[in-house]
Structure 1
Amino acid sequence: MSSIPFNKLMFLYIGTLDFESDFHYYKSVLGGKLHWAFDRFGAKVAAFKIGEGPLILIADHLTAPTCMPIYEVKDLDATVMELRNKGWKEENGPIGIPNGPCYTFKDISGNSFGIFENKRPTVAEDSYRDKDNEYQIIK
């Protein structure tokens, strides 16, 4: 692991109480650019770009208010091993997210974070452009 443990902050994973209302807010009120939106595995998730920095992912399967930073790491297995050697414990993982394997964890105060290896960097965008994808939400 480098002197800085993680690479780029890729996503802010946001819980929503009302997906449709939040979707409208991020798209129409804030003027966010919709990157993709899916209703799959019992969850609605949409990705918006609202400024420089990470994508905002609104998700109806996360309890609101929640804001979980998700960081990319170069080598997930090596990072997890090094962190475990320092006393780190994962909350969940490895779990699959569209971009690749992911672990979630909490800091000492209970704040949630995620780390993942970006093995499929464009998979969500590519799937959203596929007009035959039955899981996409078109708005």
Structure 2
Amino acid sequence: MNHLFSRLVYIYIGTSNYSADYEFYKNVLGAELLWEFEKFGAKVAGFDLCGLPYLLIADHVQAPSKRLIYEVQSLNAAMAQLQSKGWEVDGAEFEIPDGTCVNFKDRSGNEYAILEMTRPFILEKEWSRNKRKK
């Protein structure tokens, strides 16, 4: 068993038609909307189809594409362990609401990321709090 990756947290999905995909996930598949935000010129929504991993649709990500985002306990330790085996990052570390993340690709070009969740599920909590206020 691999103890480096804790769990698959998100599947990040590119969309070329945000409204149609939003309706598809919500109304056709029956996924629960966890949150939706439009910031910095990007629309992103999180859906719960059947528990983790959550599905994230994003209009700033080219479609079709899927990036699997795995949680790790320590980003630096995971990166060091993987780099010792010839693994390479794809770009610089970046922040997402849940914590620090870094992208990588397998040998065929499939996209993945590892995430240290220092602010676990903050968007889901904020969305829920805002819904209760309304």
TM-score by length of 2: 0.91
Aligned to 1:48: 47
How many residue pairs are counted as aligned between the two chains?
131
Partner of 1:136: none
What residue in structure 2 maps to residue 74 of structure 1?
A: 73
Match of 2:121 in 1: 122
Rounded Cα–Cα distance in structure 1 between residues aligned with 2:113 and 2:50? 21
1:125 & 1:53 partners in 2: Cα distance?
Answer: 13
Q: How does 1:3-22 map to 2 (within 5 A)?
A: 3-22=2-21
* Counterpart AA for 1:96: E
TM-score, structure 1 normalization: 0.88
- Which amino acid in 1 is paired with 2:62? T
The match for 1:101 is 100
Partner of 1:59: 58
Q: 1:126 to 1:51 in 2, by over 3 A?
A: closer
One-letter amino acid of the counterpart of residue 10, structure 2:
F
Which segment drifts farther, 58-67 or 86-95?
86-95
**Structure 1 gaps, min length 5:** 133-139
Partner SS for 1:93: coil
Distance 1:7 1:53 in 2: 12
Percent identity between matched residues is 42
Residue identity in the other structure for 2:14: G
